Amino acid sequence: MFASHLSPKKHAAIAKLVGRKCSVRCLVHDVDMEALWDTGAQVSIFPEQVLSDNFSDLKIRDISELLGAGSGLNLTAANGTPIPYKGWVETRFRLNREDEKEITVPFLVTPEQLEQPIIGYNVIELFLQEGENYSDNLSVAHHIVSSRNVGVKDAEQLINIIQRNDGELFCQVKISKRHITIPKKATKTVPCRANTGTIENTRPVLFEPDEKQEWPPRLIVHETLTSVKKGKSTIMQVQVTNDTMHDIVLPGRTVLGSLELFRSVTPIETTGSEKLRVHSTSTLPGSETLSGRPTNKNFIRRSKSPYSSSVVCVRKKDGIMRLCVDYRALNKKTIQDRHPIPRMQETLDNLGGNSWFSTLDQRKAYHQGFVSPDSQPFTAFVTPWGLYEWVRIPFGLTNAPASFQRFMEGCLGDLRDQICIPYLDDIIIFSKSFEEHVEHVRLVLQKLQQHGVKLKPGKCRLFKRQVSFLGIIVSEKGYNIDPKATEAVILSKSKIPRTAGEVRRVIELLGVYRRHIKDFSKIAKPIYELLGGKVNTNQNSRKNGQLPSNHPIQWSMKHQTALNTLIDCVTSPPILAYPDCSSPCVVHTDASQNGLGAVLYPRQGGTLRVIAYASRTLTQAEKNYHLHAGKLESLALKWAVSKQFRDYLYYAPSFVVYTDNNPLTYILSTAKLNATGLR
């Protein structure tokens, strides 16, 4: 009221102190409404009245579903007064009708009288994370402008302020004016300057390399945990590794990365650890030369061991060298750890009846475990720079998978097989409902944190209806082959096998997916015949009844046709159903001179869905059964019921077998059966 008595000039000056209310047009569950865009609010709030008027079907959930049983949330306004709330709801949110990106966000429901919903920083942050799919902040700014009557420049500045305050990008780290030379095969400490601006006191920061920078191949800029002091600039040291055979020059003022703020550094308390122990039956020291160099990340140390193994450096897809040691001699003399690794099929069978899935992948999984001190000398390997031994678990040890699997099963404890299944460094979490899944993920993450297990966020997939796990697409409907896992199979189309060993490798590669392929043995019969053909030679060309791997073979068009057919079946597989112990099963069997075949179906919802296909060729003795068709059909029946599908049929309430009945009628009418029939 007092402003109306001022002059127009002073009135305009005061008006600048009061800006427009930052409201945005948004769609909540496809309902167009206006909401307050509040970057100072930590939570998003929905008035109960607005909720009941527009979304009467939305269920208000208890806050314990998110925070755990017995936990609560104290909500206060900026002036310290408490804000009551009744629970929370899960909504679908997007900024405008043209936006294809829709995110799922939680809102607290308050009985307070509010004009409009409040979009808090939890939603703003999630939207900005989704905005990483855009090329830059300017694109995100244009995206916001379409929902709010503000300029593009103002919107972009708003995004930059939000990201800077959140620590997404605190400041850039640059090299000094002079060029820096990184010597070949060396790690150098590079002095850098960071313009941190004015800060109140010393703060912990994390240096992250610039992922958008196109570094020279095999140049590695290492992450660094450091701190910045009060002042406008900070001098810091960054380690850079040159893994090439030539020097690399970094121009002056090159941006190596950025500093990120975080709230605190918390040491992880571990409940215990399991160290890999090598039990050797005898010792045979040796030494071989190699090309390569050890990576020094406190995973290895210099050794005085009397043992040694050779080293092989394998180049990964990103060009980085992976250090692998040839432990074949050590593995031959190691007492085997018989702890079982889960069977892939048993893992998939346990996922039936679930609708929500999450997968967790560990960062450098093996290297998170330690080798016991008395076993470390056995892991020694030779390099041109001396003898080293492993402190962490290396790749290549025969007992490493069993020890790692035992550790993961002990880590997850009673959660294993109930809500999650670990397969070495991969973990899949499964639940019947979203509410259950939130709790299950929380429990698994708590277990991993207690044991100090680190995850790789980029490879974790959370709260999905469909996930890829161990090369298989898993969903509520069933599972099938992941197209990304069939690249090696597709490449075999263009490679013509020349020897028996190459043919055997092709069959083994395709045999992994034979459960998904109908009539696998029938289609692959021409290829199998290559390995069972007669050999015209004076020497013993068979080893253990098989052709030697170096024996030449004649690859013809019929073999290529069979191979192409199998590859096509792998690249377009059916979706297989999960077994259901509460439903009756149906088995179809058939037999011919081409082999035996069987299909297992569960009767679910009045329809038959395939659980698995099975097939095999006939042995030389079984091929003589063509003189008595009943023997072949009996063999197919016995093989399918008693061997191939026994585990499924044993627990089924009932099952029916469909087969060629005429050849089997003699079993019911004959008093005496021969030995084959009795078996």
Tell me the average pLDDT across 41-54.
Answer: 84
What single-letter amino acid sits at 328?
R
Does pLDDT of 19 surpass 70?
no
For helices 434-450 and 400-412, angle between their N-to-C axes, nearest 10 degrees: 120
Higher-pLDDT residue of 466, 154: 466
Q: What is the pLDDT of residue 39?
A: 76
Higher-pLDDT residue of 495, 414: 414
Q: List the beta bridge partners of residue 240.
A: 188, 221
Does pLDDT of 326 surpass 70?
yes
For the chain, helix (H) and strand (E) counts, in that order, are 18, 34
**Closest to 505 measured CA to CA, from 468, 549, 441:** 549
Which 3 state secondary structure label does DSSP give 379? Answer: helix
Q: Which residues contact 20 (CB under 8 A, 6 or more apart)?
A: none
Q: What does the alpha-carbon distance between residue 483 and residue 487 come to, in Å, rounded to a whole number? A: 8
For residue 297, how many C-alpha atoms fall within 13 Å in the half-sphere facing its CB?
15
For residue 547, how many C-alpha atoms fall within 13 Å in the half-sphere facing its CB?
21
Q: What does the alpha-carbon distance between residue 307 and residue 330 come to, in Å, rounded to a whole number? A: 9
Beta-strand relationship, 595-604 and 310-315: unpaired
Q: Which segment of 163-167, 412-416, 497-501, 624-628 scores lowest on mean pLDDT?
A: 163-167
Does pLDDT of 26 surpass 70?
yes
Q: Which segment of 394-398, 484-488, 593-597, 599-603 scores lowest on mean pLDDT?
A: 484-488
Tokens of 108: 């607290």
Q: List the beta bridge partners of residue 46.
A: 109
Span 438-476, pLDDT tens digits: 999 999 999 988 888 888 888 888 999 999 888 888 988
Q: List the beta bridge partners of residue 601.
A: 586
147 falls in which pLDDT band (50, 70, 90)?
very low
What single-letter amino acid sits at 71?
S
DSSP symbols for 456-492: -GGG-EEEESEEEETTEEEESS-EEE-GGGGHHHHHG
664 falls in which pLDDT band (50, 70, 90)?
low
Does pLDDT of 3 surpass 60?
no
Q: List the beta bridge partners of residue 209.
A: 257
Phi-psi region at 457: left, alpha or beta (left = phi > 0; alpha = psi -120 to 50): alpha
Which 3 state secondary structure label does DSSP give 567? Answer: helix
* Residue spans in the chain of domains classed CATH 2.70.40: 171-261
Q: List the beta bridge partners of residue 521.
A: none
Sign of CA dihedral 201, 207, 213, 216: positive
Q: What does the alpha-carbon distance between residue 635 and residue 629 come to, in Å, rounded to a whole number? A: 10
Q: What is the pLDDT of residue 441?
A: 92
Run of H or E residues at 152: helix 152-166
Backbone angles phi, psi at 90, to 5 degrees: -105, 125
Which 3 state secondary structure label does DSSP give 72? Answer: coil
Backbone angles phi, psi at 237, to 5 degrees: -110, 135
* CB 489, CB 503: distance < 8 Å: no
Q: Which CATH architecture has domain 8-163?
A: Beta Barrel (2.40)
Number of CB atoms found within 10 A of residue 326's CB: 15
* Residue spans in the chain of domains classed CATH 2.40.70.10: 8-163
Q: What SS3 string covers 578-597?
A: CCCCCCCEEEEEEEECCEEE
Q: What does the alpha-carbon distance between residue 470 and residue 71 come to, in Å, rounded to a whole number? A: 36
574 falls in which pLDDT band (50, 70, 90)?
confident
CATH fold of 483-533+547-572 reads: Alpha-Beta Plaits (3.30.70)
Which 3 state secondary structure label does DSSP give 631? Answer: helix
What single-letter amino acid sits at 165?
N
Does pLDDT of 292 surpass 70?
no
Q: What is the pLDDT of residue 320?
A: 66
Q: What is the pLDDT of residue 533?
A: 53
**Closest to 303 measured CA to CA, from 248, 226, 375:** 375
Q: What is the pLDDT of residue 427?
A: 92
Q: Which segment of 45-49, 101-105, 153-157 scores lowest on mean pLDDT?
A: 153-157
Tell me the average pLDDT across 23-44.
Answer: 82
Span 400-442, pLDDT tens digits: 888 888 888 888 989 988 999 998 888 999 999 999 999 999 9
For domain 321-476, the CATH superfamily is Reverse transcriptase/Diguanylate cyclase domain (3.30.70.270)
CA distances from 457 to 187, 224, 305, 420, 611 (A): 27, 18, 38, 18, 33
Q: What is the pLDDT of residue 2?
A: 37
For 386, counting Cβ atoms within 10 Å of its Cβ (0-12 exposed, 13-18 middle, 19+ buried), the class is: exposed
DSSP symbols for 499-554: BHHHHHHHHHHHHTTGGGSTTHHHHHHHHHHHHHS----SS---BTTB--TT-B--
**Closest to 308 measured CA to CA, from 235, 360, 237, 382:** 382
What single-letter amino acid sits at 559?
H
Does pLDDT of 152 surpass 50?
no
**C-alpha 336: how far from chain center:** 29
**Closest to 231 measured CA to CA, from 262, 261, 201:** 201
* CB 367, CB 299: distance < 8 Å: yes
CATH fold of 171-261 reads: Deoxyuridine 5'-Triphosphate Nucleotidohydrolase; Chain A (2.70.40)
* CB 655, CB 584: distance < 8 Å: yes
- The per-residue pLDDT of the chain, averaged, comes to 76
24 falls in which pLDDT band (50, 70, 90)?
confident
Q: Give whichever of 68-72, 421-425, 544-548, 600-604 has the largest mean pLDDT.
A: 421-425
Does pLDDT of 616 surpass 50?
yes
Span 225-270, pLDDT tens digits: 887 776 667 788 888 988 888 888 898 888 888 887 765 555 555 5
Q: Which segment of 38-42, 320-324, 625-629 scores lowest on mean pLDDT?
A: 625-629
Q: What is the pLDDT of residue 622?
A: 79
Tell me the average pLDDT across 616-624.
Answer: 80
- Say what percent of the chain tops pLDDT 90: 4
Sign of CA dihedral 194, 197, 201, 207: negative
Q: Which segment of 69-78, 110-119, 408-417, 513-522 scores lowest on mean pLDDT?
A: 69-78
54 falls in which pLDDT band (50, 70, 90)?
confident
* Residue spans in the chain of domains classed CATH 3.30.70.270: 321-476
**Closest to 110 measured CA to CA, from 89, 74, 86, 90:** 86
Run of H or E residues at 400: helix 400-412
Q: What does the alpha-carbon distance between residue 106 and residue 470 come to, in Å, rounded to a whole number? A: 32
Q: What is the pLDDT of residue 139?
A: 43
Higher-pLDDT residue of 135, 592: 592
Q: What is the pLDDT of residue 429?
A: 93
User: Considering the entire predicted model, what is its pTM?
Assistant: 0.54
Q: What is the pLDDT of residue 627?
A: 58
Span 96-116, pLDDT tens digits: 656 556 777 888 888 887 778
* CB 368, CB 379: distance < 8 Å: no
Q: What does the alpha-carbon distance between residue 308 and residue 388 come to, in Å, rounded to a whole number? A: 9
Tell me the average pLDDT across 574-579.
Answer: 83
Q: What does the alpha-carbon distance between residue 238 and residue 314 come to, in Å, rounded to a whole number? A: 26
**Closest to 398 measured CA to CA, from 344, 455, 322, 341:** 341
DSSP symbols for 1-50: -GGGGS-HHHHHHHHTTS----EEEEEETTEEEEEEE-TT-SS-EEEHHH
Span 520-536, pLDDT tens digits: 888 888 888 887 755 44
Q: Which CATH architecture has domain 585-666?
A: Roll (3.10)
